[in-house]
Amino acid sequence: MSAASRAIPIDSVPRSVWAIPLLLGVVLLLEVTVMPFIGILNGVPDLLAPTVVAIGMLRGPLSGAVAGMVGGLFIELASPIGTLGVLALLYLCVGALAGRYHEREESMGLVVPIVFSIVAAGAVELGYGVVQALLGNGLGPADLVGQVILPSMALTALLSPPVLLAARYLLVPREPKPEASA
């Protein structure tokens, strides 16, 4: 059998196989290249939080947890920071918790995922701040909230809607159009 005849048309590849890696790949590239340059105060927009929330809500807690762990690990590997496994664990928790809304009406709207994403971005910063405090790099509570958590949540709120819409476009299978009646 020739290679050409073995080629699989893209339409026949299940959406679940390529949609999550594609979404996660694009978001992670943006997160480690562009996002650190557009922060406000000490906050940086968190694109991974809405992505993991969307994957968790639309594909279930295990998919959300795996996406969160992979995403967190990638950021820690690709950015010049001094931790490994911390962000992976935090985003894993975000994905697993978002997955509890899987197959519920709230997951199909936009308000709950946006609110969840903003809270998740703040929670990740808070969790990372606690770990940094344990490592001796801690900020004061006022600086942590005022300069890190609130700016990150605000920037994430701005960027969550397009990320969530893109995630929904990629992850929710479109229903076939009904045939026109004669």
Which residues inside 48-77 make contact with another protein, applying CB under 8 A?
A: 60-62, 65-66, 69, 72-73, 76-77
**Residue 33 lies near another protein (rule: CB under 8 A):** yes
Smallest distance, another protein to C-beta of residue 165, A: 22
SS (H, E, C) the chain: CCHHHHCCCHHHCCHHHHHHHHHHHHHHHHHHHCHHHHCECCECCCCHHHHHHHHHHHHCHHHHHHHHHHHHHHHHHHCCCCCCCHHHHHHHHHHHHHHHHCCCHHHHCCHHHHHHHHHHHHHHHHHHHHHHHHCCCCCCHHHHHHHHHHHHHHHHHHHHHHHHHHHHHHHCCCCCCCCCCC
Q: Tokens 């406000």 sit at which residue?
A: 40
Minimum CB separation of residue 23 from another protein in Å reads 17
Among 13, 22, 81, 158, binds another protein (CB under 8 A): 81
User: Among the candidate windows 1-9, 140-148, 159-167, 168-176, which touches another protein by CB under 8 A?
Assistant: 140-148
| Alpha-carbon gap, residue 68 to 171, rounded angstroms | 16
- Distance in Å, CB of 175 to another protein, minimum: 17
Residue span binding another protein (CB under 8 A) among the ranges 36-44, 47-55, 153-161, 167-175 = 36-44
Could you tell me how far CA 166 lies from the centroid of its own chain?
A: 11
> Is residue 100 a contact point for another protein (CB under 8 A)?
no
121 contributes a contact to another protein by CB under 8 A: no
Minimum separation from the CB atom of position 16 to another protein (A): 16
User: Which residues are near another protein by CB under 8 A?
Assistant: 29, 32-34, 36-39, 42-44, 60-62, 65-66, 69, 72-73, 76-86, 88-89, 92-93, 96, 103-105, 125, 128-129, 132, 135-137, 139-140, 143-144, 147-148
